[in-house]
């Protein structure tokens, strides 16, 4: 297949491209990425010289550019990863999230419809189901109750994509994955931020009581599921992709402390995220039945690979923690600290 991959310079998109080009599955890949703070061509150095790979810098909201890319490249399918993907940044500034996640998806859907694209795979998240009381697990028919600007835009984009199947018969497949972790993840999300701070001996911020639960999925397992569903998912259907490994945030942080040999004293409880979802949980039975896929990398193994990667790639971390990262960190964590000081908890 010839694939247009959006957001291929990000964490999951780059893992997908590296895996797709390592096998026989893709005869050509065009990576369309705006290179926001989260996009990094260093993530694709391993494939940059592959004759099947091409990169175009551009915004998925730019209809003329997307149209030209489809005219020239003529892909069989679009795999749509591009998004503003971070809940905390979306809380601080919702506008880019709305623009990219909603308008960007709309722009791609319109272009896909005009060009008669054979498959549109919308990469989405378990966060669209909102917070679930234990022991509930969301199946694909579960109601959508997103509670953050990020998850609301992902839910909206999913529904818009599905409406293009119902209305225009665009062959859309929606995938909803749980929390990913692995190499090349930008150090704003829990796992890479904790690893990177632990390796530097800096405080590890834990929101609220740290007992929020997430289902952890190794990034390559996610990408294998996306590849399988690209091939054998049914048009107009939604497929959940869970890691089958639920952990409280504090347990994740403690496992990182033990993998990095750092003291628990670095843990710093900080003011909770507003609207913080308590628990996500997914059933992936439908994906298993459709493709035979199941996660292969257990959390301990995945975490140990991830810590080893961050240890070996100190230069990568240093470069992504540029001035802009420092000002984001101050914006997101500075006030939390102040608030705790005011409350007399530090
Ligand atoms: P990321 O933030 O690491 O990467 C996003 C990429 O999209 C970056 O390369 C960025 O430059 C690009 N991008 C952003 N806006 C763009 C625009 N307007 N035009 C073109 N490119 C643009 O994100 P990620 O963690 O790799 O997530 C990829 C997808 O997977 C997202 O759709 C996200 O919602 C979904 N998802 C992520 C997780 C997770 O745990 N990270 C879990 C489930 C689903
Ligand atoms: P995150 O990695 O941002 O993913 P998501 O919000 O999409 O689940 O956060 C995972 C969990 O970790 C979430 O419950 C928020 C929490 N968290 C912290 O406790 N401290 C942090 O510094 C970050 C970034 C997240």
* Residue 331 clears pLDDT 90, i.e. is over it: yes
Domain annotation covers residue 314: no
Q: Is 73 helix (H, G, I), strand (E, B) or coil?
A: helix
Confirm whether 177 is domain-assigned. Answer: yes
Convert the pLDDT of each residue in 193-212 to its tens digit.
999 999 999 999 999 999 99
Q: Is 99 assigned a catalytic role?
A: no
List ligand 1's pocket residues with C-beta within 6 A. 6-7, 9-13, 33-36, 38-39, 59-61, 81-85, 100, 104, 123, 125, 154, 177, 179-180, 186
- What is the C-alpha separation between 148 and 160, in angstroms, rounded? 18
Pocket (CB within 6 angstroms of ligand 2): 87, 127, 179, 189-190, 193, 205-207, 212, 214, 249, 273
Please report the pLDDT score of residue 143 as a whole number: 98
Residue tagged active-site, from 33, 84, 126, 188? 126
**What is the predicted pLDDT for the residue at 338?**
58
pLDDT per position as a tens digit, 267-325: 999 999 999 999 999 999 999 999 999 999 999 999 999 999 999 999 999 999 988 99
Smallest-distance ligand from the CA of 107: 1
| 245 Cα: distance to centroid of ligand 2 (angstroms) | 16
Give the pLDDT score at 336. Answer: 84
What pLDDT does 340 receive?
56
In a domain, 231, yes or no: yes
Among all chains, which residue has been given the structure tokens 């931020």? 193
Kind and range of the H or E run holding 97: helix 95-98
Q: What is the mean pLDDT of the chain?
A: 96
Closest CA to ligand 2's atom 8: 179
| CA pair distance 25, 28, nearest whole angstrom | 9
In a domain, 224, yes or no: yes
pLDDT of residue 197: 97
In a domain, residue 265? The reply is: no
**Distance (Å, whole) CA 257 – CA 264:** 7
329 is annotated as an active-site residue: no
Please state, for a pLDDT cut of 90, what percent of the chain lies above it. Answer: 95
What is residue 23's predicted lDDT score, i.e. its pLDDT?
A: 85
Domain range for 117 is 2-182+218-242+276-300
Q: What would the mean pLDDT of 65-88 be, rounded to a whole number? A: 98
pTM: 0.97
- Residue 125, pLDDT > 70, answer yes
Which atom from ligand 1 is nearest to the alpha carbon of 59?
19
> Does residue 335 carry a pLDDT above 90?
no
Domain harbouring 7, CATH code: 3.40.50.720
Task: Tell me whether residue 306 is in a domain.
Answer: no
Q: If pLDDT is split at 50, 70 and 90, which confidence band does 147 have?
A: very high
337 located within any domain: no
Radius of gyration of the chain (CA): 19
Question: Best substitution site from 12, 90, 177, 207 to test ligand 2's pocket, by max atoms within 8 Å of Cβ?
Answer: 207
Mean predicted confidence (pLDDT) in 161-175: 98
Q: Kindly report, residue by residue over 20-64, the tens digit of the pLDDT.
A: 999 887 999 999 999 999 999 999 999 999 999 999 999 999 999
| Cα–ligand 1 centroid distance for 79 (angstroms) | 12
Ligand 2 atom index nearest CA of 150: 7
Of all ligands present, the nearest one to the C-alpha of 204 is 2
Ligand 2 mean position to 161 CA, how many Å? 27
Beta strand segments in the chain, E: 2-6, 28-33, 53-57, 77-80, 119-125, 172-177, 179-181, 204-207, 213-218, 237-241, 246-248, 267-270
> Is residue 150 annotated as part of the catalytic site, yes or no?
yes
- Which bound ligand lies closest to the C-alpha atom of 188? 2
How does pLDDT run across 1-12, given as a tens digit for each residue? 999 999 999 999
Higher pLDDT, 338 or 1: 1
pLDDT of residue 323: 81
Distance 40 CA to ligand 1 centre (A): 11
Query: Total structural domains in the chain?
Result: 1
Say yes or no to pLDDT of 178 above 50. Answer: yes
> Catalytic pick from 150, 164, 184, 280?
150
**Is a pLDDT exceeding 80 seen at residue 103?**
yes
Distance 346 CA to ligand 1 centre (A): 35
The pLDDT score that the predictor gives to residue 28 is 98
For 169-192, give one letter per residue: b (16+ CB within 10 A) or e: ebbbbbbbbbbbbbbbbbbbbbbb
Judged by its nearest atom, the ligand closest to the C-alpha of residue 328 is 2
Q: Which residues pair with 32 in a beta bridge?
A: 6, 56
Distance, CA of 221 to CA of 228 (rounded, Å) = 11
Residue 342 above 90 pLDDT? no
- What confidence tier does 346 reach under pLDDT thresholds 50, 70, 90? very low
Say how many Å lie between the CA of residue 62 and the centre of ligand 2: 31
Q: How far apart are CA 196 and CA 185, in angstroms?
A: 11
pLDDT for 344 beyond 80 = no
User: 75 in a domain, yes or no?
Assistant: yes
């Amino acid at each position: 297949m010839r694939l247009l991959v959006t957001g291929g310079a990000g964490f999951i998109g780059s893992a997908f491209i590296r895996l797709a080009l390592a096998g026989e599955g893709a005869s050509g890949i065009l990576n369309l990425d705006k290179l926001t703070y989260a996009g990094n061509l260093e993530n694709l150095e391993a494939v940059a010289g592959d004759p099947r790979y091409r990169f175009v810098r551009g915004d998925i909201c730019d209809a003329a550019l997307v149209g030209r890319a489809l005219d020239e490249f003529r892909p069989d399918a679009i795999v749509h990863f591009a998004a503003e993907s971070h809940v905390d940044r979306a809380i601080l500034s919702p506008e880019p999230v709305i623009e990219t996640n909603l308008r960007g998806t709309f722009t791609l859907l319109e272009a896909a419809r005009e060009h008669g694209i054979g498959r549109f795979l919308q990469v989405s998240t378990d966060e669209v189901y909102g917070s679930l009381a234990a022991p509930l697990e969301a199946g694909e028919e579960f109601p959508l109750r997103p509670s953050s600007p990020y998850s609301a835009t992902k839910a909206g984009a999913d529904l818009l994509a599905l409406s293009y199947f119902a209305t225009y018969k665009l062959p859309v497949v929606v995938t909803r994955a749980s929390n990913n972790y692995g190499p090349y993840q930008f150090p704003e999300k829990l796992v890479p931020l904790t690893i990177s701070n632990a390796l530097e001996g800096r405080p590890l911020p834990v929101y609220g009581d740290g007992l929020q639960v997430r289902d952890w999925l190794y990034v390559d397992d996610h990408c294998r599921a996306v590849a399988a569903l690209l091939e054998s998912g049914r048009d107009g259907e939604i497929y959940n992709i869970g890691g089958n490994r639920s952990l409280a945030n504090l347990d994740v942080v403690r496992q990182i402390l033990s993998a990095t040999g750092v003291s628990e004293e670095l843990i710093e409880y900080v003011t909770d995220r507003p609207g913080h979802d308590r628990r996500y949980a997914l059933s992936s039975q439908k994906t298993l039945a459709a493709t035979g896929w199941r996660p292969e990398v257990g959390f301990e193994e995945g975490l140990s690979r991830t810590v080893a990667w961050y240890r070996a790639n100190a230069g990568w971390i240093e470069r992504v923690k540029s001035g802009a990262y420092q000002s984001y960190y101050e914006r997101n964590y500075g006030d939390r600290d102040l608030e705790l000081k005011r409350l007399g908890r530090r």
